[in-house]
Amino acid sequence: MPVKYKKNQLSRGAGVLLAVSSLPSNYGIGALGAEAFQFIDFLKSAGQKYWQVLPVGPTSYGDSPYQSFSAFAGNPYFIDLDILIDETLITLDEVQSYDWGSSAVDVDYAKIFESRFKILHTAFHKSKHINTKAYRAFCKENAYWLNDYSLYMALKFQFENHSWLLWPDEIRFHRTEAVKTYTDLLKGEIDFWKFCQFKFFEQWHKVKQYANENSIKIIGDIPIYVALDSADVWTHSTLFQLDAERRPIKVAGVPPDAFSKDGQLWGNPLYDWSTMEQSGFDWWKKRMEYSVKIYDIIRIDHFIGVVRYYAIPAGESTAVNGSWQTGPGIKLTDAIDSAIGDAQIIAEDLGVVVPAVKKLLKKTGYPGMKVMQFGFDDNPTNEHLPCNYTSNMVVYGGTHDNETLVGHFTDMKSKDAQYAKKYLDVKKKKNIPNAIIRAGYASVANTVIFQAQDILSLPNNCRMNFPSTIGTNWRWRLHKGQLTVRLAQKLSELVEVYGR
């Protein structure tokens, strides 16, 4: 057990949470081009060790990176168009002929959806990739998921972007003959979706290599669950709690709490853990093997679900009528550890942490999380306060689901604000956010991560996500040049003073 603990404990350092979609670009959404490399330069100059991203999979309805068409594929939106221009696969005039949205700091997903695949089709038809050694190697290396995902996406567009549950029965049930028939029928489109993955990972690996060369580790984020409308559920239906018609029996979420009287109804299909265990958790092993190829450190979202998960009967309109069920626990984490080599895990253990979760974290050595925003409720024993931290944990000012620090502490209760000022030794409420950042850096926790919005002292209109809502989330983007030399110097000074 001590060996595991040493392996999983992150080295002392600091980092920034920034979604790829939030990088600046001329074409509506962040991408894996020059701005990604410039962000890495900023991190290096700021003395940072970590870049944490949100999940990078292709997004579906609602645009959430936590609801993806695949647990393996990359998001074609992130393919940098300027690189494709340099490769003469498209022209600047072609790119500029599309409407990418009217705001440089907001992602208009409807316009991205209408335009991105059209310009990528243009690049695909000009590309000579299909006969290259690199492309053949990519297809072979990723055969476990690439063929299924590419067929799935071709079928989605064939059937007007409907979920696979609404496809004709022969292909909805993934019958062998139907799969063969549609694979032949849609060969051109299947090749297009493979091309998109090839270009995504070609660009991603160059970004990751540059980060690693500059001593920056990338923290990836993987949702514990997959979306119902995904290649994973369509292809591997026996691994999920589905009925004879392949519809969910129970779905994922979390129960009512102080923040939500109805709880959160996520709607993801739940795993059939007993079936997964019979295969030695093979699907999870392959998922983790894939993850360690693209990330240095893997954050497992809703890690609590490994120990116990909340099951809501399908068809419910809220999460009120769910029940707790027992998860696979250490059987799954042992399988994960067998698949990840020297990579490290962060366990997102926020929420009601039962003793069994704490016991599993102790056995695995995985660092859990603390959120500084949650600490200031006039209770000195609050586990999210810096005075109660231990070394093996990852501390955040706030996550993608939280308010910005400025927004949170502007609107907080007077009593809590008074306590925060006393704790942080500041005179004015407006000084609390910067004092929070300093306190995080000064803490004993090995790793501290702040959102880009928080190191920039931005208000709540720059918030990334409002849980349990759709339509206005995942849209915030940086201005070009917003991450300044002065800001890098400020962070670098904190790194130096507090040994990060």
Contact at 8 Å (CB) between 2 and 360? Answer: no
Would you say how long the chain is, in residues? 500
Task: Express as a percent the part of the chain with pLDDT over 70.
Answer: 98
Q: Give CA–CA dist 329/339, Å, rounded.
A: 16
pLDDT of residue 3 exceeding 70: no
Alpha-carbon distance 33 to 389, whole Å? 38
% pLDDT > 90, the chain? 92
Question: Angle of helix 143-158 relative to helix 282-294, nearest 10 degrees?
Answer: 90
Q: Which of the residues are catalytic?
A: 301, 348, 401
Confidence of residue 482 (pLDDT cuts 50, 70, 90): very high
pLDDT band with cut points at 50, 70 and 90 for residue 318:
very high
Mean pLDDT of 433-441: 98
The residues with which 448 forms a beta bridge, in sequence order, are 14, 395
Using pLDDT thresholds of 50, 70 and 90, give the confidence band for residue 261. confident
User: How large is the average pLDDT for residues 186-190?
Assistant: 98
Query: How high is the pLDDT of residue 216?
Result: 98
In which band, very low, low, confident or very high, does the pLDDT at 413 lie, cut at 50, 70 and 90? confident
Residue 458 has pLDDT above 70, yes or no: yes
Rounded Cα distance between 385 and 342, Å, is: 31
Report the C-alpha gap between 285 and 337 in whole angstroms.
Answer: 9
491, 459 contact by CB (below 8 A): no
**pLDDT at residue 179, as a whole number:** 98
d(CA 42, CA 14): 13
Question: What are the C-alpha distances in Å from 85 to residues 29, 52, 88, 100, 446?
Answer: 17, 28, 5, 16, 42
Q: Is the pLDDT of residue 5 over 80?
A: no
Pairing of the two strands 344-347 and 297-301: parallel
Tokens 């995080």 — which residue? 440
**Left, alpha or beta for 163 (phi > 0: left; psi -120 to 50: alpha)?**
beta
428 by Cβ neighbours in 10 Å (0-12 / 13-18 / 19+) ranks as exposed
**How confident is the model at residue 257, as a pLDDT?**
81
Residue 19 — very low, low, confident or very high, per pLDDT cuts 50/70/90? very high
Q: What is the pLDDT of residue 175?
A: 96
Q: What's the pLDDT tens digit per position in 138-182? A: 999 999 999 999 999 999 999 999 999 999 999 999 999 999 999
Contacts of 362 (CB under 8 A, 6+ apart): none
Which H or E element spans position 340?
A: helix 330-340
Farthest-apart Cα atoms in the chain, separation: 72
Please provide residue 175's backbone torsions phi and psi, each rounded to the nearest 5 degrees: -75, 140
Residue type, 132: T
Which pTM does this prediction carry? 0.96
Q: Which of 217, 359, 355, 350 is nearest to 294 (CA)?
A: 217
What pLDDT, on the 0 to 100 scale, is given for residue 121?
A: 98
Q: Can you give the pLDDT at residue 139?
A: 97
Residue 308 pLDDT > 70, yes or no? yes
| Residue 325 CB burial class (10 angstroms; 0-12, 13-18, ≥19) | middle
For all residues of the chain together, what is the average pLDDT?
Answer: 95
Give the 3-state DSSP-derived string for 374-418, with helices as H, strands as E and coil as C: HHCCCCCCCCCCHHHCCCCEEEECCCCCCCCHHHHHHHCCHHHHH
The tokens for 406 are 């400025």
Tens-place pLDDT, residues 195-247: 999 999 999 999 999 999 999 999 999 999 999 999 999 999 999 999 999 99
Report pLDDT for 4: 53
State residue 7's pLDDT score: 66
Map tokens 């003469």 to a residue: 88
Cα dihedral: 259, 262, 265, 271 (round 10): 90
pLDDT of residue 471: 79
Tally of CA atoms within 13 A in the half-sphere of 435 that contains its CB = 17
pLDDT band of residue 2 (cuts 50, 70, 90) is very low
Does position 1 have pLDDT exceeding 50, yes or no?
A: no
